[in-house]
Amino acid sequence: MRTTPGYGSDLVVDLLRAVGIEYVALNPGATFRGLHDSLVNYGGNRTPELILTTHEEIAVAMAHGYAKARGAPMAAVVHDIVGLQHASMAVFNAFCDRAPVLVLGATGPMDATRRRPWIDWIHTALVQGTQVRDYVKLDDQPASVAALPEAFLRAWRVAATEPMGPVYLCLDAGLQEEALERPVQLPDVGRFRPPVAPHADPRAIDEAARCLVEALAPVILVESLGRRPEATAPLCRLAELLAAPLVDLAGESQGRPSVPAQHALDLTDARHEAVRDADVVLALDVSSFFTVLGETDRATREVRVLNDRARVIAVSLDDYAFRSWAHTFQSLAPIDLPIAADAGLALPALLAAVEHRLERDRKAADRAARAERIAARHAALRAEARDVVRLERSARPVPPSVLAALVWEVIKGEDWVLANGTGKGWARRLWDWEPARSYGGSGGAGLGYGLPAALGVALAHRGSGKICVNLQADGDFLYVPSALYTAAHHRLPLLTVMFNNRTYGNDEAHQEAVAKARGRPVERKVVGIRIDDPAPDFAKIAQGFGVWAEGPIDSAEEVEPALRRALRIVKDGRPALIDVITRP
- The answer to whether 545 and 484 are in contact (CB under 8 A) is yes
Element (H, E) at 94: helix 81-96
Q: Does 65 bind ligand TPP (CB under 6 A)?
A: no
Could you give the residue ranges of the DSSP H alpha helices within 97-191? 119-122, 148-159, 173-177
- Residues numbered 295-324 forming contacts with ligand TPP, rule: CB under 6 A: none
By the rule CB under 6 A, 226 interacts with ligand TPP:
no
Task: Based on the shown chain and the rule CB under 6 A, indicate whether residue 95 belongs to the binding site for ligand TPP.
Answer: no
**Alpha-carbon gap, residue 244 to 281, rounded angstroms:** 9
Q: Which of 199, 203, 137 is nearest to 168 (CA)?
A: 137
Is 342 strand, coil or helix?
coil
Binding range to ligand TPP, per CB under 6 A, among 14-22, 39-47, 165-173, 499-507: 499-507
Least separation in angstroms between residue 449's CB and ligand TPP is 9
3-class secondary-structure state, position 543:
helix
> From the list 427, 447, 451, 539, which residue makes contact with ligand TPP (rule: CB under 6 A)?
447
Least distance in angstroms from the C-beta of 507 to ligand TPP: 5
One residue of 507, 512, 532, 560 binding ligand TPP per CB under 6 A: 507
Answer yes or no whether residue 453 interacts with ligand TPP by CB under 6 A: no
Please, what is the minimum distance in Å from the beta carbon of residue 530 to ligand TPP?
Answer: 10
* 484 DSSP β-pair partners: none
Stretch that binds ligand TPP, among 97-105, 265-273, 349-357, 497-505 (CB under 6 A): 497-505
474 binds ligand TPP (CB under 6 A): yes
92 or 433: CB nearest ligand TPP:
92
Size of the site for ligand TPP (CB under 6 A): 14
Nearest residue to 351 via CA among 226, 215, 212: 212
Strands 576-581 and 548-553, bridge-based pairing: parallel
What minimum distance in Å lies between the beta carbon of 84 and ligand TPP? Answer: 17
At 239, give phi and psi (nearest 5°).
-60, -40
**Run of H or E residues at 171:** strand 167-172
Q: Which is nearer to ligand TPP, 80 or 476 (CB)?
A: 476
**Judged by CB under 6 A, which stretch of 185-193, 351-359, 378-386, 503-511 contacts ligand TPP?**
503-511
Contacting residue, 287, 307, 496, 503, with ligand TPP by CB under 6 A: 503
* Segment contacting ligand TPP by CB under 6 A, of 119-127, 193-201, 204-212, 502-510: 502-510
Interaction between residue 446 and ligand TPP (CB under 6 A)? yes
Q: How far is the CB of 135 from ligand TPP (least distance, A)?
A: 14
Please, which residue, 57 or 342, has the CB nearer to ligand TPP?
A: 57
Beta bridge partners of 497: 471, 578
Helix, coil or strand: residue 202: helix
218-222/280-284 β-pairing? parallel
Q: Determine the residue type at 157.
A: R
Part in contact with ligand TPP (CB under 6 A); list of ranges 177-185, 211-219, 281-289, 468-476: 468-476
* 473 binding ligand TPP? (CB under 6 A): yes
Phi first, then psi: give them for residue 299, nearest 5 degrees: -75, -45
Q: How far is the CB of 252 from ligand TPP (least distance, A)?
A: 14
* 506 makes contact with ligand TPP (CB under 6 A): yes
Whether the Cβ atoms of residue 57 and residue 82 lie closer than 8 Å to each other = no
Minimum CB distance to ligand TPP, residue 583 (Å): 11
Task: Kindly state whether residue 475 participates in binding ligand TPP, applying the rule CB under 6 A.
Answer: yes
Instruction: Report the 10 Å Cβ neighbour count for 234.
Output: 17
Q: How far is CA 212 from CA 217, 275, 312, 337, 345, in A?
A: 9, 14, 10, 12, 18
CB of 477 to ligand TPP, least distance (A): 7
CB nearer ligand TPP, residue 176 or residue 422: 422
Planar angle of CA 193, 197, 199, nearest 5 degrees: 150
- The nearer residue to ligand TPP, 99 or 175, going by C-beta atoms, is 99
Residue 532 in contact with ligand TPP, rule: CB under 6 A: no
Reference 377, options 575, 214, 219, 529; nearest CA is 219
Closest CA to 500 of 521, 525, 470: 470
Residue 445 binding ligand TPP, by CB under 6 A: yes
Q: Is residue 2 within 8 Å of 61, Cβ to Cβ?
A: no
Nearer to ligand TPP, 388 or 526 (CB): 526
Q: Closer CB to ligand TPP, residue 471 or residue 549?
A: 471
Based on the shown chain and the rule CB under 6 A, indicate whether residue 504 belongs to the binding site for ligand TPP.
yes
**Does 476 sit near ligand TPP (CB under 6 A)?**
yes
CA atoms of 254 and 224, how far apart (whole Å): 8
Residue 505 binds ligand TPP, judged by CB under 6 A: yes
Q: Which of 53, 93, 316, 501 binds ligand TPP (CB under 6 A)?
A: 501
SS3 341: coil
Tell me how far apart the alpha carbons of residues 196 and 317 are, in angstroms, rounded to a whole number.
Answer: 13
Q: According to the 3-state scheme, what is the secondary structure of 228-246?
A: CHHHHHHHHHHHHHHCCCE
Nearer Cβ to ligand TPP (144/506): 506
Residues making contact with ligand TPP (CB under 6 A): 445-448, 473-476, 501, 503-507
